[in-house]
């Protein structure tokens, strides 16, 4: 019983060492490293899929703030359903709230002179 446990521990250690040696060999060889990390996926599929903005609803402000009679700072439009919500500098933070309740991943600024987009999932600007 005791021997079995020890043997298991040693075989685990042996595996660990093999993996470490493997990594060490790879890091000395640039090409092998490239194989390890085949062109790293830095892009965001959500942003690529969200190029057409749905018509804004409502068109004149944050949906929740309007119904609650509150003020907002900036507006963001959901690229999935067109929901207009306020930014994180606004007390309501309804754009983030909309993502929290719907999982709609991408918003675009609804400010007149801005067209940047933001993916909540990858936390990436596009
Ligand atoms: Zn994304
Ligand atoms: Zn709001
Ligand atoms: Zn939405």
pLDDT tens string 105-126: 999 999 999 999 999 999 999 9
Ligand nearest 83 Cα, by number? 3
Question: What is the 49 CA–ligand 2 centroid distance (Å)?
Answer: 25
- In this predicted structure, the answer to whether residue 25 has a pLDDT above a threshold of 50 is no
Question: What is the 84 CA–ligand 2 centroid distance (Å)?
Answer: 8
pLDDT at position 43 is: 82
Ligand nearest 105 Cα, by number? 1
Distance CA 47, CA 27 (A): 33
Looking at the structure of the chain, the number of domains it has is 2
Shared domain for 96 and 58, answered yes or no, is: yes
Shared domain for 28 and 79, answered yes or no, is: no
Shared domain for 27 and 54, answered yes or no, is: no
pLDDT at position 34 is: 45
Judge contact between 121 and 105, C-beta under 8 A: yes
Shared domain for 54 and 23, answered yes or no, is: no
Distance CA 68, CA 85 (A): 13
Domain membership of residue 82 as a residue range? 45-125
Distance CA 16, CA 11 (A): 9
Shared domain for 31 and 49, answered yes or no, is: no
Question: What is the 27 CA–ligand 2 centroid distance (Å)?
Answer: 50
Shared domain for 13 and 70, answered yes or no, is: no
Question: What is the 91 CA–ligand 3 centroid distance (Å)?
Answer: 19
Shared domain for 11 and 54, answered yes or no, is: no
CATH number where 108 lies:
3.30.40.10
Question: What is the 80 CA–ligand 1 centroid distance (Å)?
Answer: 12
Give per-residue pLDDT as tens, 47-100. 999 999 999 999 999 999 999 999 999 999 999 999 999 999 999 999 999 999
Shared domain for 31 and 66, answered yes or no, is: no
């Amino acid at each position: 019983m005791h021997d079995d446990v020890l043997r298991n521990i040693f075989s685990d250690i042996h595996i660990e060492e093999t993996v470490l040696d493997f990594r060490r060999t790879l890091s000395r060889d640039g090409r092998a490293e490239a194989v390890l990390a085949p062109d790293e996926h830095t892009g965001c599929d959500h942003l690529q899929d969200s190029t057409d903005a749905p018509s804004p609803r409502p068109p004149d402000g944050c949906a929740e703030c309007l119904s609650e009679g509150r003020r907002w700072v900036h507006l963001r439009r959901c690229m999935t359903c067109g929901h207009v919500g306020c930014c994180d500098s606004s007390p309501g933070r309804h754009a983030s709230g909309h993502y929290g309740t719907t999982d709609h991943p991408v918003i675009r600024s609804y400010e007149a002179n801005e067209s940047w987009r933001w993916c909540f999932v990858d936390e990436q600007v596009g």
